[in-house]
């Protein structure tokens, strides 16, 4: 019980209702912010208690209001303070009693306003040294009223408050997540990663088209650099019937087509071909089974919303498509048998291996499937993404489906482009057809070439090399 003769190191703290309702448990509050030692007598004025009681049925604040009621109840019954903390500082809690409030003396305070009433009651608790009083609140309004009446104040920091409680919507989302996790206990778990090289900065060239004169000049330069080759021994009388002359009887026609169609077609789309060379980036997709359950009949789909993907790096020779070479007639069928064997007798795919369902060949989607994708197994797709020079961003998505998977798993990679307009002559010397700049996948092309992994390089579509 207060006497009005409290020692100098004793604080009479009036606690606002918001500290009880929104703060941490009263015993766990950082009372050292108020006083490092001595005694703190925490008093709850009637209006503050009324506001706390009013929240006992509240869905969010009710548990805290009822817990405080249970805490302070012994003090109300026996009149003795409740010890919240033994020392450093010692903290005691009890209800306050107030004298009649002379509202006529408080012009700025409204008897019908809760904050005004809490301040007025704190000013009219008898037998308390005014100099030892302190109003504690997290809200500004009651602190301002108290300061206006000369009552010392302490603004509670956010450290006095509980962590924000989830909203009903957040709770529902969490409940659904837990429910989904239960459903997925018997499903495979995956980790998906999507990596695109050289994306800082993601510079994409928009190459200007050649005019008619430049196109004609480019066509002439390519033809000059790729002249017609000698075609075996002359056999004017046809006595060898092409068997031993080493002559390719179809070469003249193929070279004529090269000059009249292939080279002009390349030159007319020179800007597009440079965009393919300079804009493509290496694309790596990795899928791992990180759970303990295998995926049955897993299908991995890789899609892009822009440009195209390809399973091999694409090289565009700046000096144009290579001309056809004369091949003796008796050699012309040797490669055909090998191709027929590959086309009609495909390699057998094991249960744990991936089979290409839809190959990435300059299109926007590829698919691969595995009958039994085991725990700890990995799948890689390594190719290129070739964005267009349109301003739209690139979105690459990887979608997984399986027989024992509810729904699908999706991972998306989004890349904003930095479009840079450029002329062909800034990338290629149009007189010598030599590159002026390095292209992003140059090192990969050189690596594959040095390793003699020629099958991993795709020559431009108009290149007969």
Q: Got the DSSP string for 2-37?
A: --S---TTEEEEEEPHHHHHHBS-GGGS-GGGT-SS
Mark whether 153 and 294 lie in a shared domain. no
In a domain, 83, yes or no: yes
384 and 417, same domain (yes or no)? yes
Question: Which regions of 86-139 does DSSP assign to beta strands (E)?
Answer: 90-95, 133-137
pLDDT at 463: 44
The strand pairing partners of 369, in sequence order, are: 299, 355
- Determine the pLDDT at residue 340: 45
What string of DSSP letters covers 283-314? EEEEEEE-SSSPEEEEEEEEEESSSEEESSEE
Is residue 180 included in any domain, yes or no? no
- CATH code of residue 270: 2.60.40.10
Q: Are residues 199 and 53 in the same domain?
A: no
* Residue 447 within any structural domain of the chain: yes
Q: Of 127, 160, 193, at which residue does a domain stop?
A: 160
| CA 415 to chain centroid | 10
Query: CB within 8 A of 9, min separation 6: which ones?
Result: 35, 37, 38, 39
Tell me the C-alpha distance between 38 and 7, whole Å: 9
Those residues with Cβ within 8 angstroms of residue 391's Cβ, 6 or more apart along the chain or in another chain: 417, 419
Give the C-alpha separation, 49 to 33, whole Å: 23
Separation CA 14–CA 125 (nearest Å): 10
Residues 151, 224, single domain; the answer is no
- Whether 200 is in a domain gets the answer yes
Same domain, 448 and 389: yes
Q: Are residues 147 and 199 in the same domain?
A: no
Evaluate the CA torsion angle 55, 57, 62, 65 in order and state its sign: positive
The DSSP H or E segment spanning 207 is: strand 203-207
Q: Which residue has the tokens 């493509």?
A: 280
Q: Are residues 189 and 156 in the same domain?
A: no
Choose the final residue of a domain: 160, 177, 212: 160
Which residues constitute the domain of residue 69? Answer: 10-160
With tokens 């498509």, the residue in question is 321
pLDDT at 29: 96
pTM of the predicted protein model: 0.59
Q: Which pLDDT tens digits describe the chain residue by residue (465 residues)?
A: 455 555 557 999 999 999 999 999 999 999 999 998 999 999 999 999 999 999 999 988 999 999 999 999 999 999 899 999 999 999 999 999 999 999 999 999 999 999 999 999 999 999 888 899 999 999 999 999 999 999 999 999 999 999 887 777 877 888 887 776 666 667 899 999 999 998 887 799 999 999 999 999 999 999 999 999 988 765 555 444 545 557 888 899 999 999 999 999 999 999 999 999 999 999 999 999 999 999 999 999 999 999 999 999 999 999 999 999 888 765 554 444 444 444 455 567 789 999 999 999 999 999 999 999 999 999 999 999 999 999 999 999 999 999 999 889 999 999 899 999 999 999 999 999 999 999 999 999 999 999 999 899 998 755 443
Asked if residues 276 and 388 have their Cβ atoms less than 8 Å apart, the reply is no
What's the CA angle centered on 114, arms 110 and 119, to 5 degrees?
75
Q: Based on the fold, state whether residues 58 and 189 are members of the same structural domain.
A: no
Query: Whose CA is closest to 444, among 280, 207, 320?
Result: 280
Is residue 412 domain-shared with residue 269, that is, in the same domain? yes
What is the residue-wise DSSP string for 332-373?
Answer: TTHHHHHHHHHHHSPPP--TTSEEEEE--EEESEEEEEEEEE
Q: Which two tokens stand for residue 60?
A: 């969010």
What 3-state DSSP class applies to 80?
coil
Residue 369 forms part of a structural domain: yes
Which tokens go with 213? 């004169």
Q: Compute the distance between CA of residue 65 and CA of residue 205 in angstroms, rounded to an integer.
A: 65
CATH number, residue 58: 3.40.50.1010
Distance linking the first and last C-alpha atoms of the chain: 101
- Residue 89 DSSP symbol: S
Tracing tokens 């055909």 back to the chain, one arrives at 336
Helix, strand and coil in the chain, % to nearest 5: 35, 25, 40
In a domain, 2, yes or no: no
User: What CA–CA distance (Å, rounded) separates 392 from 280?
Assistant: 16
Predicted confidence at residue 161, as pLDDT, reads 94
CA distances from 12 to 25, 104, 213, 447 (A): 19, 26, 94, 79
**Same domain? 115 vs 204:** no
Radius of gyration of the chain (CA): 41
> Cα dihedral sign for 292, 293, 294, 300?
negative
Q: In this structure, is residue 207 part of a structural domain?
A: yes
Looking at the structure, do residues 204 and 86 belong to the same domain, yes or no? Answer: no
Is position 237 within any domain? no
* Helix pair angle (62-78, 46-53), 10° resolution: 140
How many separate domains does the chain show?
Answer: 2
Phi-psi category of 362—alpha, beta or left, where left has phi over 0 and alpha has psi -120 to 50?
Answer: left
Whether 122 and 209 map to the same domain: the answer is no
């Amino acid at each position: 019980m207060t006497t009005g003769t409290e020692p100098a190191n004793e604080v009479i703290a009036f606690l606002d209702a918001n500290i009880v309702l929104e703060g941490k448990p009263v015993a766990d509050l950082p009372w050292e912010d108020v006083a490092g030692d001595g005694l703190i007598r925490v008093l709850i004025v009637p209006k503050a208690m009324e506001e706390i009681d009013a929240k006992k049925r509240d869905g969010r604040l009710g548990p805290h209001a009822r817990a405080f009621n249970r805490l302070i109840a012994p003090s109300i019954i026996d009149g003795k303070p409740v010890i919240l903390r033994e020392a450093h500082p010692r903290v005691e809690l009890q209800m306050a009693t107030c004298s009649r409030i002379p509202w006529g003396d408080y012009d700025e305070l409204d008897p019908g306003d809760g904050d005004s009433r809490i301040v007025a009651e704190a000013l009219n608790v008898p037998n308390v040294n005014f100099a030892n009083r302190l109003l504690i609140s997290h809200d500004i309004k009651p602190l301002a009223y108290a300061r206006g009446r000369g009552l010392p104040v302490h603004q509670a920091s956010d450290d006095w408050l509980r962590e924000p409680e989830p909203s009903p919507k957040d709770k529902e989302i969490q409940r659904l997540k837990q429910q989904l996790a239960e459903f997925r206990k018997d499903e495979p778990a995956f980790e998906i990663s999507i990596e695109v090289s050289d994306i800082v900065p993601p510079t994409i060239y928009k190459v200007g088209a050649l005019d008619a004169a430049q196109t004609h000049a480019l066509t002439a330069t390519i033809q000059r650099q790729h002249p017609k080759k000698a075609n075996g021994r002359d056999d004017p009388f046809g006595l060898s019937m092409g068997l031993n002359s080493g002559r390719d009887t179809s070469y003249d026609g193929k070279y004529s087509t090269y000059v009249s169609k292939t080279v002009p077609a390349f030159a007319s789309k020179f800007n597009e071909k440079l965009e393919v060379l300079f804009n493509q980036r290496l694309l790596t997709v990795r899928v791992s089974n990180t759970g303990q359950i295998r995926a049955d009949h897993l299908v991995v789909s890789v899609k892009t919303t822009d440009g195209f993907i390809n399973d091999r790096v694409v090289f565009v020779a700046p000096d144009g498509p290579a001309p056809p070479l004369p091949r003796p007639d008796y050699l012309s069928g040797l490669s055909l048998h090998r191709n027929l064997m590959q086309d009609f007798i495909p390699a057998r795919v094991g249960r744990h291996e991936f089979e290409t369902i839809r190959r990435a060949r300059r299109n926007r989607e590829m698919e691969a499937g595995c009958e039994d994708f085991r725990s700890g197994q990995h799948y890689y797709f390594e190719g290129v993404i070739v964005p267009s020079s349109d301003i739209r961003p690139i979105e690459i998505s990887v979608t997984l489906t399986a027989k024992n998977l509810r729904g699908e798993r999706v991972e998306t990679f989004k890349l904003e482009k930095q479009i840079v307009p450029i002329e062909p002559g800034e990338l290629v010397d149009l007189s010598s057809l030599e590159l002026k700049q390095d292209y992003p996948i140059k090192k990969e092309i050189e690596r594959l070439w040095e390793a003699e992994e020629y099958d991993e390089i795709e020559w431009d579509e108009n290149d007969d090399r």
